[in-house]
Amino acid sequence: MRPTHKPLPDVYRDHHADDALPMGDVITKLHDICGEYCAYCEMRLGGGYVLHHKLQRQPPDAVRKADWPHLNLICYDCRRHKTRDSLTEDELDDYLWPDQHPSFSLHGHSPLRYLLRPVPYVIHDFDGSEERIDQEFVFVEVNPRAPPALQAKAAKTIELFQLNSPHYDADRHVVSISREDHMRIPCHRLQQRTLAWTRAKGSVSRIRQMRALPEAQEHPGLVEMLRQQVNHTAHATGNWSVWMTHFWQELGEKDLIKRTFLETAEENPGFHFPGTAHDRLEWEAL
Q: Is 30 in the site for Zn ion (CB under 5 A)?
A: no
Site size with Zn ion, rule: CB under 5 A: 5
Which CB sits closer to Zn ion, 78 or 234?
78
| Pairwise CA distance, residues 56 & 116, whole Å | 31
Which CB sits closer to Zn ion, 207 or 241?
241
Which CB sits closer to Zn ion, 57 or 124?
57
Stretch that binds Zn ion, among 37-45, 55-63, 125-133, 241-249 (CB under 5 A): 37-45
Instruction: Determine contact, residues 246/199, Cβ cutoff 8 Å.
Output: no
φ, ψ (nearest 5 deg) of residue 269: -60, 135
Stretch that binds Zn ion, among 31-39, 140-148, 172-180, 250-258 (CB under 5 A): 31-39
Q: Is 123 in the site for Zn ion (CB under 5 A)?
A: no
Which CB sits closer to Zn ion, 122 or 197?
197
Instruction: Determine contact, residues 77/188, Cβ cutoff 8 Å.
Output: yes
Helices (H), the chain: 23-34, 76-80, 148-161, 179-184, 189-212, 214-218, 221-237, 240-250, 254-261
- Nearest distance, CB of residue 21 and Zn ion, angstroms: 23
Using CB under 5 A, which of 75, 140, 154, 230 touches Zn ion?
A: 75
- Nearest distance, CB of residue 268 and Zn ion, angstroms: 24
Using CB under 5 A, which of 26, 38, 140, 281 touches Zn ion?
A: 38
Pairing of strands 174-178, 112-124: parallel
Using CB under 5 A, which of 45, 51, 63, 78 touches Zn ion?
A: 78
| Pairwise CA distance, residues 275 & 281, whole Å | 12
| Pairwise CA distance, residues 163 & 151, whole Å | 15
Q: Is 21 in the site for Zn ion (CB under 5 A)?
A: no
Q: Distances in Å between the alpha carbon of 72 and those of 100, 161, 184?
A: 12, 14, 27
Stretch that binds Zn ion, among 35-43, 91-99, 117-125, 216-224 (CB under 5 A): 35-43
Please say whether the dihedral angle defined by the alpha carbons of residues 37, 134, 201 and 250, taken in this order, is positive or negative: positive
| Interface mask toward Zn ion for 223-252; x: CB under 5 A | ------------------------------
| Pairwise CA distance, residues 74 & 36, whole Å | 9
Using CB under 5 A, which of 41, 96, 122, 155 touches Zn ion?
A: 41
- Nearest distance, CB of residue 73 and Zn ion, angstroms: 9
Closest Cα partner for 36 from 264, 271, 258? 271
The site for Zn ion (CB under 5 A) is made up of 38, 40-41, 75, 78
